[in-house]
Amino acid sequence: MGLIVQKYGGTSVATVERIQAVAQRIVATVEQGHGVVVVVSAMGRTTDELLGLAKAVTPDPPARELDMLLATGEQVSIAVVALALCALGQPAISLTGTQIGVITEADHGRARILHIPTDRILQELELGKVVVVAGFQGISSSRTLEITTLGRGGSDTSAVAVAAALGADACEIYTDVPGILTTDPRVVPEAQVLTQVTCEEMLELASLGAKVLHPRAVEIARNFGVPVVVRSSWTAEPGTRLLTPQRRTVPNRDLEVSRLVDGVELDDQQAKLALCNVPDRPGMAAELFGALAQAGVNVDLIIQSIQAGATNDIAFTVQRTAVEKTERLVRDLIPAWGEAVTCAVSSDMAKVSIVGAGMVGRPGVAATMFSALGEAGINIDLISTSEIKVSCLVDLTQATQAVRVLSSSFKVPVLPTPPETGGMMPVRGAALDDQQARLAIQRVPDRPGAAAGLFLALAQARVSVDMIIQSERVTWVQERPTRDIAFTIHQDDVELARHALDTALAKLACGTLTIDREIAKVSVVGSGMVRQAGVAARMFASLGQAGINIYMIATSEIKISCLVPRMVGKQALKRIHQGFALDQL
């Protein structure tokens, strides 16, 4: 006999029939002898409708009142689920976040959970009841009882946090698909169910557009070793298991706001090749990285920045030992691309990274890193971001200093270089995010700290930035070097960002800002892609063969993302899914 937390998402409780089916499943679990705590979302599209209601009254509803409104969705569904259980003769009690006393930050609309008292839940379980808990909501303090919500999709986070706090034996996330699939089955019907997935992979997939599991839920599962399964509420299939570490007890405070960064990593064996003026047409990246893959060259970071006229810059890194071979291969290729194409090689580079699950969804961690480096006079050459890691390529001569600066500013140790993870499938899943916009700032002074200023301004405005790319090409303005910086953000944040940047740009006396909403981001994720030649080439080839032009490229150790025209986003996802034979698992 164990304690099981079951979470049912919006579609699983959308209608009376669905709620009755859910109630039967809960009763069946109780009959197996388990104590059951149920976490539910609002019914169907209730949250969207409530948001629509608020926006119909005012275009910019205050966050506090919005939380008050949105939290009602879950209050309805917990009561109806409890009623359905009672109708089946199963004693049940519904509890709101306030009644349990789920304490969160005061940050309306995106609050993080600080503490979940378990006494009330345990009391009710003792009485033989199923406890039905409202997901997505909490209160900012036990004194004022201000209602907060966790952010869209946040019921997953509530469920895993409740499971962590209770030390539950399992947390089952029931949804409208049979588990975590290789990609969104609504876009690619051939998507296959994964039997298991690592937390790192799921964190990336979740934040790159796979909304099947909220990234913060994964972060909690990873931090406290909560056993999580994602399954269909329609069938009895086993679903997908999240591979979580050993169980850890939850402290009485700061449940979701543990340390932002765990440590600093250094790879001092990097070399960079930077190509400028590469013709901007489909298939170029595939040609370049295909040739390198064929020769067995393992490429680490790849960055293609925003195009200038009809050309692109592509920069990438390899291990220093491979630099000569790589340069030869590149020099053989580029004459065919036109006279303007140049290749510059910097053999002595280092990659410094900050790592930690605490940075998930936190604007500002990357900005803090950039400004710490900037203040120490260390220039950042390339940037690569993933959900739990931000890496900067710096000059080898400044590597030790960079590590020291980061270690002291985040107050964390230097970690040993992680072991190579081989053997697993290099690519496990693909994702599409067509809710993003690309912002490009032209002519940012190329000096330490300039970029940091911009990203700090965005962080202060609470805008989460993704896919940050700095151009290789340098434009001289009044005898000073400048570069272009492009990044992506959520479309909803565009106005906030524009406002924050206007002031920052005026201060820097630089840059023109352009905003492009006609983009989509397609990504592949897999922890087995580290140090495997040819993964990127295969992705670019899938897009190239479909005639899809790549606007920007950014990679981390476990993901490759490409920006493509929004119009062909879905097609791009289908192509890469097929290109990696993910439909044939």
Binding site for Mg ion (CB under 5 A): 9, 153
Say whether residue 9 binds ligand ADP (CB under 6 A). yes
Using the contact rule CB under 6 A, the part of the chain among 9-17, 264-272, 330-338, 468-476 near ligand ADP is 9-17
Told to check if 183 binds ligand ADP by CB under 6 A, we report yes
Nearer to ligand ADP, 211 or 259 (CB): 211
Q: Which residues contact 532 (CB under 8 A, 6 or more apart)?
A: 298, 422, 426
Residue span binding ligand ADP (CB under 6 A) among the ranges 180-188, 302-310, 530-538, 565-573: 180-188
Q: How many CB atoms lie within 10 A of CB 68?
A: 16
Show contacts of 501-507: CB within 8 Å, 24+ apart: 501/439, 501/441, 501/454, 501/457, 501/458, 503/457, 504/453, 504/454, 504/456, 504/457, 505/441, 505/454, 507/453
Residues between 416 and 445 that touch ligand ADP (CB under 6 A): 429
Interacting partner of 73 out of Mg ion, ligand ADP, ligand ASP, none (Cβ under 5 to 8 A depending on kind) = ligand ASP
Contacts of the segment 562-566: beta carbons below 8 A, 24+ positions apart? 562/521, 562/522, 562/523, 563/438, 563/467, 563/488, 563/519, 563/520, 563/521, 564/519, 564/520, 564/521, 564/522, 565/518, 565/519, 565/520, 566/434, 566/517, 566/518, 566/519, 566/520
| Options 153, 215, 356, 448; binder of ligand ADP; rule CB under 6 A | 153
Q: How many CB atoms lie within 10 A of CB 575?
A: 24
Run of H or E residues at 173:
strand 170-175
* Residue 456 · residue 498 · CB < 8 Å: no
- Residues 405/418, Cβ–Cβ less than 8 Å: no
Task: Tell me which of Mg ion, ligand ADP, ligand ASP, none is bound by residue 186, counting a contact when its beta carbon lies within the kind-specific cut-off of 5 to 8 angstroms.
Answer: ligand ADP
How do strand 3-8 and strand 170-175 relate by DSSP bridges? parallel
Q: Which of residues 112-151 bind ligand ADP (CB under 6 A)?
A: none
CB contact burial 459-489 (16+ within 10 A = b; e otherwise): bebebbbbbbbbbbbeeeeeeeebbbbbbbb
User: In this complex, which beta carbon is closest to ligand ADP, that of residue 211 or of residue 281?
Assistant: 211
Confirm if 234 and 327 have CB atoms less than 8 A apart: no
Are the CB atoms for 133 and 158 separated by under 8 Å? yes
* Paired tokens of 551: 């606007």
183 binds, among ligand ADP, Mg ion, ligand ASP, none (CB under 5 to 8 A by kind): ligand ADP
Question: From the CB of 582, what's the least distance to ligand ADP, in Å?
Answer: 10
Which tokens belong to 415? 């970690």
Q: Strand, helix or coil at 295?
A: coil
Contact predicate 345/327, CB 8 Å = yes
The minimum distance between CB 110 and Mg ion, in angstroms, equals 15
Binding window for ligand ADP (CB under 6 A); candidates: 141-149, 205-213, 402-410, 512-520: 205-213
CB atoms within 10 A of CB 276: 20
Q: Which of residues 247-266 bind ligand ADP (CB under 6 A)?
A: none
Q: Which is nearer to ligand ADP, 191 or 334 (CB)?
A: 191
Among 184, 204, 313, 434, binds ligand ADP (CB under 6 A): 184
> Is residue 239 part of the contact set for ligand ADP (CB under 6 A)?
no
Applying CB under 6 A, does 569 fall inside the site for ligand ADP?
no
Residues 316 and 303: beta-carbon distance below 8 Å: yes
Stretches 140-148, 174-182, 336-344, 513-521: which one binds ligand ADP (CB under 6 A)?
174-182
Q: Which of 45, 64, 120, 211 binds ligand ADP (CB under 6 A)?
A: 211
Output 134 or 205, the one with its CB closest to ligand ADP: 205
Q: How many residues bind ligand ADP (CB under 6 A)?
A: 19
Binding partner selected for residue 212 from ligand ADP, Mg ion, ligand ASP, none, CB under the kind-specific 5 to 8 Å limit: ligand ADP
* 180 sits near ligand ADP (criterion: CB under 6 A): yes
**Cα atoms in the 13 Å half-sphere on the side-chain side of 492:** 5
Q: Which of 11, 192, 207, 549 binds ligand ADP (CB under 6 A)?
A: 11
Instruction: Please report how close the Cβ of residue 161 comes to ligand ASP at its closest, in angstroms.
Output: 13
Task: Draw the binding track, 16-55, toward ligand ADP (x: CB under 6 A; -: no contact).
Answer: -------------------------x--------------
CA pair distance 77, 79, nearest whole angstrom: 5
If one asks whether residue 210 binds ligand ADP (CB under 6 A), the answer comes out as yes
The β-bridge relationship of strands 170-175 and 228-232 is parallel
Residue 27 CB, nearest approach to ligand ADP (Å):
20
Integer Cα distance of 127 and 526 in angstroms: 45
Neighbours of 245 (CB within 10 A): 12
**42 is in the binding site of which of Mg ion, ligand ADP, ligand ASP, none (Cβ under 5 to 8 A by kind)?**
ligand ASP
Task: Report which residue's Cβ sits closest to Mg ion.
Answer: 153
Q: Which one of the spans 74-82, 183-191, 390-398, 466-474 is the region binding ligand ADP (CB under 6 A)?
A: 183-191
Binding-site ranges for ligand ASP (CB under 6 A): 9-10, 41-42, 47, 73, 135-136, 152-156
Distance CA 224, CA 552 (A): 36
Closer of 153 and 579 to Mg ion (Cβ): 153
Q: What, of ligand ASP, ligand ADP, Mg ion, none, does residue 429 touch, CB below 5 to 8 Å by kind?
A: ligand ADP
Name the residue among 433, 435, 436, 518 with its Cα closest to residue 209: 433
For Mg ion, the closer CB: 9 or 445: 9
Question: Which stretches of the chain bind ligand ADP, using CB under 6 A?
Answer: 9-12, 41, 153, 175-177, 180-181, 183-184, 186, 205, 210-212, 429
